[in-house]
């Protein structure tokens, strides 16, 4: 009773001050997270750069490689963050991520493609396309959520997977390939896809703005000093824009996580019946969170796939969803920082890393590609290792999946909760450990 009266009489002021440690603590945690990620990225890049320089790879190739790593790390981080909201927080086993990416990027393509192109688009500005694609993915999320969230978890997973395949197959279907409206042929373009101005064109647009013009020029010149081409610089700049999106995703998701809403999400993950018995409207909450997640997946899809000038169903295979899960699992599902770290580790060491080895091998070794591993071993018996090396390097794209599988197995045994999964990220808008009367018997 007495507490209530103090609160009403402007008692909030002193209370606010006594709680100063709370925001500080989050700030410290946030800073240490940023530092950790920065260190990890710096060490990795310096490591690759030194490795490249020592083995005589050209600076432009090294820079190009690092730009690619940064790009993939960023897009995987965006999607892993979105998936973390579904799977890490709410326990929704969404294995149809690529379907929502597809909805996002195809909507973007149809909205922004030139009306003269074939298939034609609406020729709207890029911003409209990005927003439209994101909203379309959210809408698709709502449509899927209504039936899917009524069934048990494992059936839910199957429905989402089915959805992503339905999307991909619908895109290739003949009836949607070409749709004639008012003498113009719209549609998905089937297997050949839709052409449009890629979303990374925003870099060129930015560099033409009055304030940025000189900065961009200077950047190109500095890069030219170390023999790095302007196109590589552009790719780095696009990665920087992606990083801004990562920060926005991260802030949004951290806010959701540190709130009563996030607490209900966690409760749904842990025991939905218990949550409902406490009066939580879990069904509505699940639909909302599913839509937020699919919107972010749609946006992630636009920023990733939309940065090519062509979107086609080939890039929308269900395995993409699997990669995003791997990135999330490496980092530790349930942790937003973990999602980012996992995405980086995945992109740098599993996705792009092996390709760097091939670059090094190409510059340094004179190997012949070999037909089969059998031939390679036959030659090895004759003390010629080159065919085997040639075979391994030639099959690097396939061998990556063996590496990926091995890493997953080792991770599941050694650190089943991922690199950062052990952390307690408390779902509350304030520091719960603050005791009312300040007594501690610990």
User: Which of 54, 182, 398, 424 contacts another protein by CB under 8 A?
Assistant: 424
By CB under 8 A, residue 7 contacts another protein: yes
Cis geometry, peptide bond prior to residue 248 (ω within 30 degrees of 0): no
Q: With contacts defined by CB under 8 A, how many residues of the chain interact with another protein?
A: 48
Min dist CB 416 to another protein, Å, is 13
Residue-wise DSSP of 48-80: HHHHHHHTT--HHHHHHHHHHHHHHHHHHHHHH
The residue from 28, 128, 274, 410 that contacts another protein (CB under 8 A) is: 274
The single residue among 35, 39, 255, 362 that binds another protein, judged by CB under 8 A, is: 255
- What is the x/- site pattern for another protein, positions 279-318, by CB under 8 A? xxxx--x--xx--x--------------------------
Q: Is 429 in the site for another protein (CB under 8 A)?
A: yes
Nearest to 69 by CA among 38, 48, 39: 48
Cα–Cα separations (whole angstroms), residue 388 to 78, 366, 371, 406: 38, 12, 10, 21
- CB nearer another protein, residue 35 or residue 281: 281
Candidates 30-38, 76-84, 210-218, 266-274; binding stretch for another protein (CB under 8 A): 266-274
DSSP string for 299-330: HHHHHHHTTSSEE-GGGG-THHHHHHHHHHHH
Which one, of 17, 199, 34, 55, lies nearest residue 113 by Cα?
Answer: 199
**24, 180, 271, 314: residue in contact with another protein (rule CB under 8 A):** 271
Round to whole Å and give the CA distance between 432 and 352.
Answer: 42
* From candidates 86, 195, 263, 286, binder to another protein by CB under 8 A: 263
Q: Which is nearer to another protein, 384 or 422 (CB)?
A: 422
Site for another protein contains 328 (CB under 8 A): no
Write down the least CB distance from residue 245 to another protein, Å: 17
CB-wise, 46 or 284, nearer to another protein? Answer: 284
Residue 310 pairs with which residues in a beta bridge?
195
Q: Does 6 bind another protein (CB under 8 A)?
A: no
Candidates 6, 14, 19, 314: give the one binding another protein (CB under 8 A): 19
The rounded distance, in Å, linking the Cα atoms of 282 and 268 is 7
Q: HSE on the CB side for 94, CA within 13 Å?
A: 33
DSSP state of 258: T
Q: Give the nearest distance from C-beta 112 to another protein in angstroms.
A: 28
Residue 332 near residue 419, CB atoms below 8 Å: yes
**Nearest residue to 259 (alpha-carbon basis) of 430, 89, 423, 424:** 430
Nearer to another protein, 78 or 275 (CB): 275
211 or 279: whose CB is closer to another protein? 279
Among 243, 357, 396, 426, binds another protein (CB under 8 A): 426
C-alpha pair distances (Å), 350 with each of 14, 166, 279, 293, 363 = 52, 29, 45, 25, 21
Q: Does 10 bind another protein (CB under 8 A)?
A: no
From 72-80, 184-192, 271-279, 312-320, give the range in contact with another protein by CB under 8 A: 271-279
- Residue 174 within binding range of another protein, rule CB under 8 A: no
Q: How far is the CB of 288 from another protein (least distance, A)?
A: 5
Asked if residue 415 binds another protein (CB under 8 A), the reply is: no
Residue 288 neighbours by CB under 8 Å, 6+ apart? none
Among the listed ranges 59-67, 129-137, 158-166, 251-259, the one in contact with another protein (CB under 8 A) is 251-259
User: How far apart (Å, rounded) are the C-alpha atoms in residues 196 and 190?
Assistant: 15
Give the three-class secondary structure for 179. Answer: strand
Residues in the chain, overall count: 442
- Give the binding site for another protein (CB under 8 A): 1, 3-4, 7, 12, 15, 19, 252, 255-256, 259-264, 266-267, 269-271, 273-282, 285, 288-289, 292, 424, 426-430, 432-436, 441-442
């Amino acid at each position: 009773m007495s507490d209530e009266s103090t609160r009403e009489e402007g008692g909030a002021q002193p209370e606010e001050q006594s709680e100063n440690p709370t925001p500080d603590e989050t700030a410290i945690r946030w800073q240490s997270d940023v530092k950790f990620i920065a260190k990890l990225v710096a060490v990795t890049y310096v490591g690759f750069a030194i490795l490249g320089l020592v083995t005589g790879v050209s600076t432009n190739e090294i820079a190009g490689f690092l730009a690619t790593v940064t790009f993939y790390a960023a897009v995987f981080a965006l999607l892993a963050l979105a998936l973390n909201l579904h799977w890490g927080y709410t326990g929704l086993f969404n294995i149809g991520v690529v379907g929502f990416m597809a909805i996002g990027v195809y909507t973007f393509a149809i909205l922004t493609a030139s009306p003269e192109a074939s298939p034609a688009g609406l020729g709207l500005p890029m911003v409209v396309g990005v927003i439209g694609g994101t909203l379309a993915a959210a809408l698709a999320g709502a449509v899927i959520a209504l039936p899917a969230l009524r069934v048990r978890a494992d059936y839910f997973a199957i429905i989402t997977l089915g959805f992503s395949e339905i999307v991909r197959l619908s895109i290739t279907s003949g009836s949607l390939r070409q749709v004639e409206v008012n003498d113009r042929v719209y549609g998905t373009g089937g297997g050949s896809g839709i052409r449009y101005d890629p979303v990374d064109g925003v870099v060129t647009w930015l560099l033409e703005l009055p304030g940025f013009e000189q900065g961009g020029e200077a950047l190109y010149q500095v890069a030219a000093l170390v023999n790095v081409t302007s196109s590589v610089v552009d790719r780095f700049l696009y990665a920087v824009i992606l990083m801004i999106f990562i920060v926005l995703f991260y802030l949004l998701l951290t806010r959701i996580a540190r709130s009563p809403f996030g607490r209900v999400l966690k409760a749904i993950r842990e025991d939905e019946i218990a949550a409902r018995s406490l009066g939580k409207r879990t069904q509505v909450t699940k639909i909302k969170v599913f839509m937020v997640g699919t919107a972010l997946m749609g946006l992630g899809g636009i920023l990733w796939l939309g940065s090519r000038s062509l979107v086609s169903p080939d890039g929308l295979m269900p395995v993409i969803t699997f990669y995003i899960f791997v990135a999330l699992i490496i980092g530790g599902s349930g942790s937003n920082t973990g999602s980012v770290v996992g995405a980086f580790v995945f992109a740098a060491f599993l996705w792009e890393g092996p390709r760097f080895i091939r670059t090094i091998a190409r510059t340094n070794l004179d190997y012949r590609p070999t037909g089969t591993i059998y031939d390679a071993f036959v030659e090895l018996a004759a003390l010629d290792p080159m065919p085997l090396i040639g075979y391994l390097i030639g099959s690097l794209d396939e061998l990556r999946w063996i590496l990926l599988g091995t890493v997953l197995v080792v991770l599941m045994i050694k650190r089943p909760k991922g690199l950062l999964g052990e952390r307690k990220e408390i779902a509350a808008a304030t520091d719960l450990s603050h005791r009312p009367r300040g007594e501690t018997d610990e």
